[in-house]
Structure 1
Amino acid sequence: MAVRDPFGLMFSGATEAGFSPYSQAVHELQCFVGDPVGSVDRAISADPGFVMAHVFKGYLFGLATEREATAVAQACHAAALPLAATPREQAHVAALGHLAAGRWHDAARLLEDIAIDNPLDAVALQVGHQIDFFTGNARMLRDRIGRALPSWQSGMPGYHAILGMQAFGLEEMGDYIRAESFGRQAIEIEPRDGWAQHAVAHVMEMQSRQRDGIAWMRANPEAWTKESFLQVHNWWHLALFHYHLGETDEVLKLYDGPIYGERSTLALNMVDASAILWRLYLGGADVGDRWAALAANWAPKAGAGNYAFNDAHAMMAFVGTGLEGPAKILLEAQHEAMRGSDDNAAFTRDVGQPLTEGIKAFGEGNYSEAVRLIRPIRAIAHRFGGSHAQRDVIDLTLIEAALRAGDPALARALTAERALARPDSPLSALFSQRAANLSEN
C-alpha cells in the first residue's frame, strides 16, 4: 500500500484517504496556518501505517522547543521506526530520531542529504530550514533551499514556500535586494504565506526601513493573521518598526492586543513578548504590570533547560518582575543542561548561560558585569539560534549596559558600530548622542 505524490515521491502505508489530510497538513505548515497537527492526526487515523504522517507529526512537535512536546516527537519516532519502507523514509525517520533526542545538527545534516537526493521533498526542505533557524545557521538557511530551487517551477504545489524560505535565507546572509524580491513573489502567489511575509519584514528591519515595514505589515494583515500560528511573531515585527521610531504607545498597544493579549503559554510566543518588553525596559519605558503576567507563564518552564534561546527570554521576564526564585531555578537548569550530551549543552555553554547571567546582572544594576558577560558572546551568538533581528537584543543590552556603566570609550565604540550598520535608524542616532553626552561629562 503506497501513494505517489505529484512530485513522484513514494509514501508507504498511505491511501488516498490518508494522503489527502497529510497534504493539507503540509500546506498548512508551508503557510503557518490552520491546524497541521489535527490534519496529520486525521491522516494517521485513516492510515495507521502511513510512515511519513507519523514523521511529519514528530517534526511538528520536535520543532516546538517545549520539553513536553519532545515526548510526543519521541513517540512519533517510535511509531514510524518499523514502518519505513524506502531509503528516503528511513532517512526521515532517522532525522526525526535525532531531532527528538536534541541532536539538531545531526538531524539537519540528514535532511540536507535527503533534499540533495530528492530536491522536490518539500518536507525535508522546510523542516531542515526550520532547524537551520533554530541553530542560527544562516548559510544553510540560504543554501539548503538554493540547491533545490532549480528543480522547482512556478505552478508546482508549494512553490511559494520555497520562494519564501529562499527569501529568508538570502536576508540572513545580507542579500537584501534579492531577499525582498523572492519574498514578494511568494506573497503574490500565496498571500497567506506567513514565512514569506516575515522574510520581507526582516529585510526592512535590517535596512532600518521602518516606514516601509509598517506599510508592508499593515497592507493586508487579514492575509497573514487569519488562522496563522505565526501571527504573533509577525505582529512582533510590526511592533519592532514602531519601537525603532520611538512610538512606545503603539508598541504597547500591539503588545496588549495581538502579541500578548491572550497571554499564550507557548514558548515561541512568550519569546516575542519578552523580547519586545525587554527592549522597552532597556529604554526606561514604563510597561506597568505587564511583566508579571508574562513571568507567571514563564515560571513553570524555568527548570526546563531544553533550549538556551528560550532561557534568555525567560530571564528577561524574571528580571522585569524581580522574581529571584524562578531565576535561580533557571540558572540551575542551565548548569544541568551543560552537562548533557545534546546540542543544547553547547547552545547553553557557548551563548545561553553567559547571556542569561548578563541579563540578570543588568537587572541588578551591575552594568559592568553585564558588559563583561555579554561582550565576548556577540560574535558567536548565532550558535544558540534565532535570527539577526532577534539577536539584536544582545547588542541593545550591551550598548545600554556600557552607557549605564559610564564607560565612554566602549559606549562610543559600540554606538559608532551601530550607526554604521544601521545609519538610518533613529535609535542609532539616539545612542550616539547619549554616548557623546557621556564623553562630555
Structure 2
Amino acid sequence: MAHHDRRGLPLSTRSDRAAERYREGVDLLLAAWPGAADALDAAIVADPDFALAHAARARLHAMRTEPAAARACIATAAACVARAGTERERSHVAVLSLAIDGQPGPALARALAHAESWPRDALILSLPLGAFGLLAFSGRADHDQARVDLCERHARSYEADDWWFTTYRGWSHTENGAVARGRALAERGFSLRRENANGAHALSHALFEDGAGPEAETLIAGWLPGYDRSGILHGHIAWHAALSALERDDPDAALAIYAEHVRPGVTAGLPLNVITDTVSLLWRLRAYGHAVPDGLWDEVRAYSGPYFGHAGFGFADAHMGLLAAATGDRAAAQARIDALTGLVEAGTLAAGPVVPAICRAALAFADGDYAACARILEPVAGQVVRIGGSGAQREVIEDTLLLALMRCGETARARALLDRRLHRRPSPRDARWQAQLTA
C-alpha cells in the first residue's frame, strides 16, 4: 500500500508503522509539542532506510541547537534518499542539508523553489516562516511582507482547516501590521489544534499587537499548565505573559513569571530563546526604572557563556551586546562591536550596520549617556527590523531609544515616536510615558 504524509504527498516507505509515526512526529514538530523525537525515532526503527524520517529528526536536532547530531542525521537521510526516493524527497533533503550546513541564503532560495513545486510540503515551507525562520534572519528589511506574500501565494494549496498553515498565515499577517486579520487567523488556527505551542505563541503575539495584554495573560495562564515544561516554547510563551505584566506596570508579577518559567535552569527552551528572553526582560525592567534582583544578570551571563561567542548572527549579537552593557563587561562589548564592524566592512553581516550600532547604543545607555545613545540609535531605527525576530522582541531596542530621548531632554522627538507607537499599537505603558511628557 502506498503511504502519504499528512497533506497527501507520497512517502518512500513500505512500513505502515514508519509512515504512521512519521506523520505523528512531523505534526508534533510543527506544533513544537513534546514527543516528536520519540515518534520519529520509532519511524526510523520501523524503516531504517526511510529518508524523510531521518531528515525530520535532523531538523529537530537543529532546532534544539545540536549541530553534530543534526549533521549526522541529514547525512543518513541523504544516503537513503539517493538509494530510493522521489524527486520531491531528494529536494526536501537537499533544502534541509543546506540549512543544517549553515548556508541560510542558499537554503532560503532552495526552500522557496521547492515550495513552488510542492507547496504542501509543510516542513520545508515552515523554514522561511516564523520569527526565527530563514526570511526573518535573512537581513532583509521587508521580511515581514515577504512572509505574508509567501503564505498568500500558497494559501490555495491548503484547506481552511489546516491548523499549521492557518496559524503561520495568521502570525505573518500580525507581524506585517494587519493585526485584525492576523488575530482572526491565529484564533482559528489555535481552535483547530490547541495542543499546538506555535498556535498559542501566534495568538499571544496577535493579542500583544492588538493592545490586548490582559487577554494574553489570561490565555497563557489557562493554557500553559497543559504544555509540558520540556516543550521548547514553554518559557518563551510565559515570557509573553511577563511582558504583558510589565506593560501594565506590575514588575513583581513579571519577576514571578520570570522566576517560575523563564530564567536559565527552569526552562528547556532553545538557547537563543533563553538568552534573548532573559536579556530583553531584565533590560526592560532596569530601563523602566525597576530593580533587578541580585544575581539575575550574573545567572544569564553564566548561562550564555557557551553560546554565540562569535559575532555574525545579528539577532543574537544585539542581545549579547545588551547583556555585556548591562553587566558592565566593556571588554566583551567592545570585542563584539569590533568584530561586527569588521563583518560590516567585509559585507558579510546580513543585518548590516544596525547590529554594531545597537551594541554601541546599549553601552551608552548603560553608562547613562542618553544623548549618545539616541545619537547612535535614531539614524538606524528603521533598520532594526533587519535583525529578525518578532516585533515584540525588537521593541526592546525601540524602548531604549525612546527612553534615551526622554532622558536627554528631546521631548518633541520622544513624543513623536510615542505618537507613532500608540497609533500602531495601544499600550498602557506608552500612554503613561505620553502623559509624563505632556504634564
TM interval, short-chain normalised: 0.7 to 0.9
Amino acid at match of 1:271: T
Report the counterpart of residue 426 of structure 1 in structure 2.
Answer: 428
- Report if aligned partners of 2:37, 2:57 keep a CA contact under 8 Å in 1: yes
Amino acid at match of 1:427: R
- Report if aligned partners of 1:166, 1:182 keep a CA contact under 8 Å in 2: yes
Report the counterpart of residue 173 of structure 1 in structure 2.
Answer: 176
The one of 236, 240, 251 equivalent to 2:239 is 236
- Report if aligned partners of 1:2, 1:14 keep a CA contact under 8 Å in 2: yes
Distance 1:71 1:358 in 2: 36
- Report if aligned partners of 1:167, 1:196 keep a CA contact under 8 Å in 2: no
Distance 2:39 2:329 in 1: 40
| Range with bigger deviation, 5-14 or 29-38 | 5-14
- Report if aligned partners of 2:18, 2:47 keep a CA contact under 8 Å in 1: yes
Deviation at 1:268, TM superposition (A): 1.6
The one of 266, 278, 283 equivalent to 2:271 is 266
Deviation at 1:226, TM superposition (A): 6.0
Distance 2:198 2:412 in 1: 40
Distance 1:21 1:416 in 2: 52
Amino acid at match of 1:120: R
- Report if aligned partners of 2:25, 2:40 keep a CA contact under 8 Å in 1: yes
Report the counterpart of residue 112 of structure 1 in structure 2.
Answer: 112
Does residue 1:357 correspond to 2:360, yes or no?
A: yes
Deviation at 1:378, TM superposition (A): 2.1
- Report if aligned partners of 1:255, 1:261 keep a CA contact under 8 Å in 2: no
- Report if aligned partners of 1:302, 1:329 keep a CA contact under 8 Å in 2: no
Query: Residue by residue, what CA displacement relative to the aligned partner does 1:181-206 show, whole Å, maximum 9, x if unpaired?
Result: 22222222211211121222212211
Question: Given the superposition, is the C-alpha separation of residues 162 and 110 from structure 1 closer, same or farther in structure 2, using an over 3 Å criterion?
Answer: same
Distance 1:150 1:404 in 2: 51
- Report if aligned partners of 1:168, 1:179 keep a CA contact under 8 Å in 2: yes
Deviation at 1:266, TM superposition (A): 1.7
Amino acid at match of 1:318: A
Report the counterpart of residue 397 of structure 1 in structure 2.
Answer: 400
Question: Given the superposition, is the C-alpha separation of residues 266 and 235 from structure 1 closer, same or farther in structure 2, using an over 3 Å criterion?
Answer: same
Report the counterpart of residue 80 of structure 1 in structure 2.
Answer: 77
The one of 134, 139, 150 equivalent to 1:144 is 150
Structure-to-structure mapping, 1:176-255, within 5 angstroms: 176-224=179-227, 227-255=230-258
Query: Residue by residue, what CA displacement relative to the aligned partner does 1:328-349 show, whole Å, maximum 9, x if unpaired?
Result: 443355356557786xx222x3
- SS state at 1:406 partner: coil
Query: Residue by residue, what CA displacement relative to the aligned partner does 1:229-280 show, whole Å, maximum 9, x if unpaired?
Result: 2121111111111111101110011111111163558222221111111111
Question: Given the superposition, is the C-alpha separation of residues 225 and 436 from structure 1 closer, same or farther in structure 2, using an over 3 Å criterion?
Answer: farther
Question: Given the superposition, is the C-alpha separation of residues 350 and 336 from structure 1 closer, same or farther in structure 2, using an over 3 Å criterion?
Answer: closer
Distance 2:224 2:17 in 1: 34
Distance 2:47 2:347 in 1: 36
Identity in percent: 26
Query: Residue by residue, what CA displacement relative to the aligned partner does 1:112-160 show, whole Å, maximum 9, x if unpaired?
Result: 22223223212122223242344472123223333333333366xxx21
Report the counterpart of residue 19 of structure 1 in structure 2.
Answer: 19
Normalization by structure 1: what TM-score? Answer: 0.87
Distance 1:340 1:70 in 2: 26
The one of 281, 286, 289 equivalent to 1:284 is 289
- Report if aligned partners of 1:274, 1:313 keep a CA contact under 8 Å in 2: yes
Question: Given the superposition, is the C-alpha separation of residues 256 and 285 from structure 1 closer, same or farther in structure 2, using an over 3 Å criterion?
Answer: same
| Range with bigger deviation, 197-206 or 51-60 | 51-60
Does residue 1:129 correspond to 2:126, yes or no?
A: no
Question: Given the superposition, is the C-alpha separation of residues 82 and 329 from structure 1 closer, same or farther in structure 2, using an over 3 Å criterion?
Answer: same
- SS state at 2:306 partner: helix
- SS state at 1:128 partner: coil
Report the counterpart of residue 10 of structure 1 in structure 2.
Answer: 10
Deviation at 1:92, TM superposition (A): 2.0
Does residue 1:384 correspond to 2:387, yes or no?
A: yes
Distance 1:196 1:190 in 2: 8
Question: Given the superposition, is the C-alpha separation of residues 296 and 117 from structure 1 closer, same or farther in structure 2, using an over 3 Å criterion?
Answer: same
Does residue 1:331 correspond to 2:337, yes or no?
A: yes
RMSD: 2.7
- Report if aligned partners of 2:5, 2:23 keep a CA contact under 8 Å in 1: no
Distance 2:205 2:129 in 1: 16
Question: Given the superposition, is the C-alpha separation of residues 328 and 40 from structure 1 closer, same or farther in structure 2, using an over 3 Å criterion?
Answer: farther
Distance 2:304 2:77 in 1: 33
Amino acid at match of 1:37: A
Structure-to-structure mapping, 1:60-99, within 5 angstroms: 60-64=60-64, 66=65, 69-84=66-81, 85-99=85-99
- SS state at 2:309 partner: coil
Distance 2:372 2:101 in 1: 35
Amino acid at match of 1:371: A
- SS state at 1:34 partner: coil
- Report if aligned partners of 1:263, 1:293 keep a CA contact under 8 Å in 2: no
Deviation at 1:307, TM superposition (A): 1.9
Question: Given the superposition, is the C-alpha separation of residues 223 and 305 from structure 1 closer, same or farther in structure 2, using an over 3 Å criterion?
Answer: same
Aligned length: 427
Distance 2:61 2:343 in 1: 20
- Report if aligned partners of 1:170, 1:179 keep a CA contact under 8 Å in 2: yes
